[in-house]
Structures are given as C-alpha cells and as structure tokens.
Amino acid sequence: MSALKEKLETDLSAAMKARDDVRTRTLRMALTAVKNEEVAGKRSRELSDDDVVKVLTREAKKRREAATAFGDAGRAEQAQAERDEGAVLEEYLPAQLSDTELKALVADAIAETGAAGPRAMGQVMKVVNPKVAGRAEGGRVAAEVKRQLAE
C-alpha cells in the first residue's frame, strides 16, 4: 500500500474520533476516488504515491471548480464547503510552484527543445509536464508555455 494512501486512512480514523465533519467527509471522498482508480480498467492495481497525488489533484480541481460555480450562483454556503474540502486536500498535495519557478522551468524546456513559435507547444509540454508533476495545474502550465513561445 502506498504511504500516502496509508496516511489518508490513518488521518480519516483520527478525524472520525475527533468528530471533524469536514475532514472526515473529505478524506472519505478522497479514499473512495483512490479506490475507484485502483479498480478502473481491465484489472485492479495498487496505486503508487504519484498515482494517489494525481487522483487528489483531480479531486482538488473539482472542489475549486464547484466552489466557483456555487459562488457564481450566489450559494455562498456551498461554495465555502467546497473551499474547506479543497483546503483539506491541499494538505496532501506537493507544494504548488510559484509563478517564477514555473517560468524558469518552461524557459529551460524551451531552451532544451530549441522550440520556437506556437506550433512547438506540444514539444515543450512533453518536456515540462514530467518536471511539474502535480505541482502546477495543466492549464496554468499551458498558458505559460503559450506565452513564452509567443514572445
């Protein structure tokens, strides 16, 4: 079992004992998503820590999008609940890259590939994505690559 999945299960037990509803609800949802990912596909498999991080990143993104949607619909209470769940998930994710760090990684990838112009975006993304791995959202990375290639 991956260390991260074990930590989620341990923290879920602690949250249940402490009667922390938000944390309990969020960790249950996260573990369900992890277990669903394990049994998806032709045969079940054990997820690595990297795979668990990908699942948690996807769940955190869902929370951000739902919070925005609820906020836009004037449902502040539900928006806050989604933000609270997102905050719990963030604790289990690697620290996000700052804009400066992301710019540097993208600039290095462009130099490494010798890419020029917007058509080379795919080339650059192939090099940048493994280096970023869960520390920045794909849309943010793509926007930075596009911006630097347009210069």
Kindly report, residue by residue over 9-65, the tens digit of the pLDDT: 999 999 999 999 999 999 999 999 999 999 988 888 888 888 888 899 899 989 999
The token pair that represents 74 in the structure block: 């004037």
Domain residue limits, the chain:
3-91, 99-149
SS3 134: coil
- Fold of the 99-149 domain: Arc Repressor Mutant, subunit A (1.10.10)
Please tell me if the domain spanning 3-91 has the same topology as the one spanning 99-149.
no
The contacts found for 57-66 with CB under 8 angstroms, 24 or more apart, are 57/93, 57/134, 57/137, 58/33, 59/29, 59/30, 59/33, 59/89, 60/86, 60/89, 60/90, 60/93, 61/137, 63/89
Domain 3-91 has CATH 1.10.1510.10: yes
The token pair that represents 145 in the structure block: 């690559």
pTM of the model as a whole:
0.76
The predicted structure's pLDDT at residue 136:
82
Q: In this prediction, what percent of the chain has a pLDDT beyond 70?
A: 99
Residue 36 CA to residue 44 CA, distance in Å, equals: 9
